[in-house]
Structure 1
Amino acid sequence: MNPNVIYALGAAALFGASTPLAKALGLNLSPILLAGLLYLGSGLGLTLARLIRDRRWQPSGLTLSEWPWLIGAIAFGGIIGPVALMFGLTLTSGATASLLLNLESVLTAVLAWVVFKENADRRIVAGMLAIVLGGLLLAWPQDSAQSLGWIGPLLVALACACWAIDNNLTRKVSASDALFIAGIKGLVAGVVNCFLALALGAKLPHATVLVPTLLVGFLGYGVSLVLFVLALRGLGTARTGAYFSTAPFLGAAIAILLLGEPVTITFWAASLLMGLGVWIHLTERHAHEHQHVALAHRHRHVHDEHHQHEHSFQWDGTEPHSHEHEHTPLRHAHPHFPDIHHRHKH
């Protein structure tokens, strides 16, 4: 299997499990504080991992033009999105919220196609339509007398929109160090949300709640985001979002099996529609003759057909490795995704 697909599915599994666990841990916490602690756990854990990996602090490697993309990603994906989700979870069952998170992949793809001009084909569009129908079915209030029936799902949908913007902005810097990107997002988002929550009167939880919450954040938001960035690098935004849309199924299963939440006919019908959409995405194949333009950048790579270059330093033959390198113009045909080397027009 393509390792980038494994990265995307791994990110989905970790994030999907975090949603119902965050709901269980945050029953007595401010939603803003819970979001802050989850991201703080992500940022602290990934920063420590990066220090251990590099044995000291290393520069980010981002260029001046890339920082606005990362700052925008942090604002939407690290601050606004998680706060909206945590408030939504207080008004929505964990299973329903988990499946509604499939809307993130739809909105991510729409932005990728419309704003960032990423390629789309009929299979991807058909899969997205199935996911949208499933999301609408889940969001429909079961009791017409409940005037707040739409608020929870709408807040979860808002979180999905924020993360869709985040995903597309992060794609712009996905060739850079994934640990740095995910770690700095966690630290900034965690500090901002925790400070805001404490300023509004929230209190830090006891260590028996604080430590598990930070751990869930490290795994479900931190490690998951690192894998997601690696997948973005290799699959492009829409396809990575499609694979990532498997996350809510795991989250829903945990909510039902471990938290004892009820299962309804609506839930199963929505699951069927969303499952169909995910299957269509997973079986998509894209191949045609295409032109590579001259390109210079830095990322971890092996010397495959896209990386035939000389080295300006003494190379010991270790792969994969990372350094500044140039791509010469090339025309060929093979199955591919809109990764960092295949962002061409069709």
Structure 2
Amino acid sequence: MHAGVVYALLAALLFGASTPFAKTLVGQMPPVALAGVLYLGSGIGLLACYAARAVIKRNARDKPVALTRHDLPWFAGAVAAGGVAGPLLLMAGLSTVSASSASLLLNMEGVLTSMLAWFVFKENFDRRIFIGMLLIVAAGLMLSWEQAPASGLPWGAIAIAGACLCWGIDNNLTRKVSASDPLQIAGIKGLVAGSVNLAIGLALGGAMPEAQTVLLAAVVGFCGYGLSLVLFVLALRHLGTARTGAYFSAAPFAGAALSLLTLGEVPGALFWIAAALMGGGIWLHLTESHAHEHEHLPMSHAHMHSHDEHHQHEHDFEWDGAEPHAHAHAHAPLRHSHPHYPDIHHRHDH
């Protein structure tokens, strides 16, 4: 299986499993403060991982490439949308929506991520991918209808859809910096977003619960937000935004299954119909194959790589043959044909 697919599915599994755990914590602290603790837990945990790696690989050439000044505008937008606004809307939605339905509603993130990638950032797609997304959209609308109150609007479902839009923006902006160190990207986002959300929560009069609850929330955040985001960034590097979003649509199934097993929720008929539609949409994405003759234009960048067919270059330093390694390198013009995704080397027109 392609490495990018593995990264995306693992990211989906971790994030999906975190939703029912977050649901159990909603009543124990204010939603804004909970969002802060979840992200702060991810940031602190990843900071520890980053420090440990820096010690272990102090002089190694296989260290990932750090963020550059050119990356900062894209990264700042990603943090604001996905690290601050998204979690706030999700916690607000979880206060009124069941955990299993909320888990499946989160499939909208993949849909909105892909829509932005296709129509705003001009990433390629075909009929098969489009039909798969239509199935996922239909399933999300069914869940929203199931959550509709007797009168008024389903604000909980709308809030979760808003969170998905924020993460869709985040995902597309993060793709711009996905060649950089994913541990650094996810760690900074967690620290910034967590600090902002926690400060807002405390300013609004929220009180911190007992230490055991805070620790549990931090662990959930580290696994479901921190490690998941590291894997998601790696998937963006290999698959592009829309495909990563599609594979990540598997996340709600993990969350829904865990909710049914641990929280004792009993879903209605619409839940199962929606689940079948979403499963069909994900299957269409998983079975996609894309190959054609394409041209690589001259390009210079830096990222972790091995000397495959896309990396045939000389080194301006003494190289001991170790792979993978990271350094700035130039790509010469190249024309060939092979199955590929819109990864960091295949962002061409069709």
Structure 1 residue aligned with 2:261 = 257
What TM-score, normalized to structure 2? Answer: 0.96
Q: Which whole-Å CA distance do the structure 2 matches of 1:193 and 1:251 have between them?
A: 23
Secondary structure of the residue aligned to 1:27 is helix
User: Cα–Cα, structure 1 residues 110 and 130, in superposed 2: closer, same or farther, change >3 Å?
Assistant: same
User: Cα–Cα, structure 1 residues 143 and 225, in superposed 2: closer, same or farther, change >3 Å?
Assistant: closer
Q: Map 1:289-328; keep pairs closer than 5 Å.
A: 289-328=293-332
CA shift, 1:63, in A, is 2.6
Q: Which whole-Å CA distance do the structure 2 matches of 1:248 and 1:59 have between them?
A: 30
Q: Which whole-Å CA distance do the structure 1 matches of 2:215 and 2:209 have between them?
A: 9
Structure 2 residue aligned with 1:89 = 94
Structure 2 residue aligned with 1:183 = 187
**One-letter code aligned to 1:240:** T
Computed over aligned residues only, the root mean square deviation of the Cα atoms, in angstroms, reads: 1.5
Q: Structure 1 residue runs of 4+, over 3 Å off?
A: 56-60, 141-144
Structure 2 residue aligned with 1:21 = 21
Structure 1 residue aligned with 2:3 = 3
State the aligned residue count.
345
Structure 2 residue aligned with 1:46 = 46
Q: Which whole-Å CA distance do the structure 2 matches of 1:257 and 1:20 have between them?
A: 10
Note if 1:218 corresponds to 2:222.
Answer: yes
Q: Map 1:199-214; keep pairs closer than 5 Å.
A: 199-214=203-218
Secondary structure of the residue aligned to 2:101 is helix
What TM-score, normalized to structure 1? Answer: 0.97
CA shift, 1:144, in A, is 5.4
Q: Which whole-Å CA distance do the structure 2 matches of 1:62 and 1:255 have between them?
A: 37
Q: Which whole-Å CA distance do the structure 2 matches of 1:306 and 1:143 have between them?
A: 51
**One-letter code aligned to 2:163:** A
**One-letter code aligned to 1:24:** T
User: Cα–Cα, structure 1 residues 130 and 145, in superposed 2: closer, same or farther, change >3 Å?
Assistant: same
User: Cα–Cα, structure 1 residues 70 and 119, in superposed 2: closer, same or farther, change >3 Å?
Assistant: same
Q: Which whole-Å CA distance do the structure 2 matches of 1:320 and 1:60 have between them?
A: 12
Listed as ranges, the gaps of 5+ residues in structure 1 are none
CA shift, 1:146, in A, is 4.5
In the alignment, which of 102, 108, 111 is matched to residue 107 of structure 2? 102
**One-letter code aligned to 1:300:** M
Q: Which whole-Å CA distance do the structure 2 matches of 1:52 and 1:311 have between them?
A: 28
Listed as ranges, the gaps of 5+ residues in structure 2 are none
User: Cα–Cα, structure 1 residues 38 and 143, in superposed 2: closer, same or farther, change >3 Å?
Assistant: closer
CA shift, 1:27, in A, is 1.6
After superposition, the C-alpha distances for 1:276-310 in whole angstroms (9 at most, x for unaligned) are 00000000110000000111111111110000011
Secondary structure of the residue aligned to 1:307 is coil
Structure 2 residue aligned with 1:147 = 152
Structure 2 residue aligned with 1:245 = 249
User: In percent, how many aligned pairs have the same letter?
Assistant: 61
**One-letter code aligned to 1:128:** M
After superposition, the C-alpha distances for 1:8-58 in whole angstroms (9 at most, x for unaligned) are 000000000001110112222111011000000110011110110012999
Q: Which whole-Å CA distance do the structure 1 matches of 2:260 and 2:151 have between them?
A: 23
Q: Which whole-Å CA distance do the structure 1 matches of 2:157 and 2:177 have between them?
A: 31
